[in-house]
Amino acid sequence: MSHEYRFHATLLSVATIADLPPTFTTQASRAAGIHPRDLYAARDAGLVIELSHGVFRHADAPLASFPDLLAVASRNSKAIICLLSAAAVHDLTDEIPSAVDIAVPRSSRPPRIVFPPARVFRFEPSRFELGLTHVDAAPSEPVRIYNPARTVVDLMRFRNRIGAPTALGALHRFLHRSDARPVELLEIAGELRVYGPVLQALDVASAG
C-alpha cells in the first residue's frame, strides 16, 4: 500500500468517525466501515476518548453530566441504573457510589464490566421496567434509570446490603420532594413484595 493511499484511507476513516454519534461502540464503528486499527489510532491521537472497553466518545462532544453511567449503559442496552447510583442522580443521598449500580433481568446473563466499576443486580423480569424513566447522561443522550419512588423501594428491599441508614435517608428526602407521592411508594412496594417494611418506615417518618 502506498503512502498516499494510506493517507487517503486515514482521512476517510477520520471523516467517517466524525459522522458517528457522540458516544458509540466498537460494534457501531465497524458497522460504519471503520477498521479497528483506525479507531484506536483516532483514540491515540486524542480525537476520541475510550470511556469503557469498546465504548468511545468524541473528544469535542458536549461535556457528559454522568460519564460513568453513559459508559456502563452503552455496554448493556438492557441495563437500568438503580439503587445507590439512581439515588445519587435523584438527589436522594449524599453518598458517592464507588461503582455504578445497574439492574438486569434475572433471566439474562449479567454483564462483566470492570471499568468503570459496576455492581450488577438481577431483578425479576416481570417487574423489571416498573418505575422506568430516563436521565440525560449527556446532552440528548438518555440512559435508562429507575424513578425516585422505585429507587427508594429498591433501597428498602436491599437495605441489609446497601445499609438501612441509606435507605431511610433516601425515604426522608423523597418525602420532602415537591412531587412526592407516598401512595406511589406503597403501590411499587406492593408490586415488589416489600409493602410492610415500606409502610412501617413511612409511619415512622410521618410521626417524626
Range of the domain at 77: 67-207
Give the percent of the chain with pLDDT over 70.
Answer: 92
Asked if 99 and 201 sit in the same domain, the reply is yes
Asked if 82 and 116 sit in the same domain, the reply is yes
Residue 83 region, left (φ>0) first, then alpha (ψ -120 to 50), else beta? left
Of the three residues 58, 77, 94, the one that is the final residue of a domain is 58
Asked if 46 and 105 sit in the same domain, the reply is no
Asked if 51 and 71 sit in the same domain, the reply is no
pTM given for the model: 0.88
How many domains, the chain? 2
Asked if 151 and 52 sit in the same domain, the reply is no
* 16, pLDDT greater than 50: yes
Angle between helical axes of 148-157 and 182-191 (0-180°, round to 10):
50
Of the three residues 11, 36, 58, the one that is the final residue of a domain is 58
Peptide bond into 116 cis (omega under 30): yes
Higher per-residue pLDDT: 63 or 114: 63
Asked if 71 and 134 sit in the same domain, the reply is yes
Element (H, E) at 52: strand 48-52
Take residue 67 and report the three cell numbers written for it.
460519564
Q: How does the average pLDDT of the chain come out, rounded?
A: 90
Give the pLDDT band (50/70/90) at residue 186: very high
Average the pLDDT over 120-125 and give the result: 94
Asked if 45 and 78 sit in the same domain, the reply is no
C-alpha distances in Å from residue 187, one per residue of 130, 184, 195: 11, 5, 8
Instruction: Give me the amino acid identity at 9.
Output: A
Asked if 35 and 130 sit in the same domain, the reply is no
* 8, pLDDT greater than 50: no
Q: How many residues does the chain have?
A: 208
Largest CA distance in the chain: 79
Average the pLDDT over 128-155 and give the result: 98
Asked if 36 and 73 sit in the same domain, the reply is no
Asked if 111 and 43 sit in the same domain, the reply is no
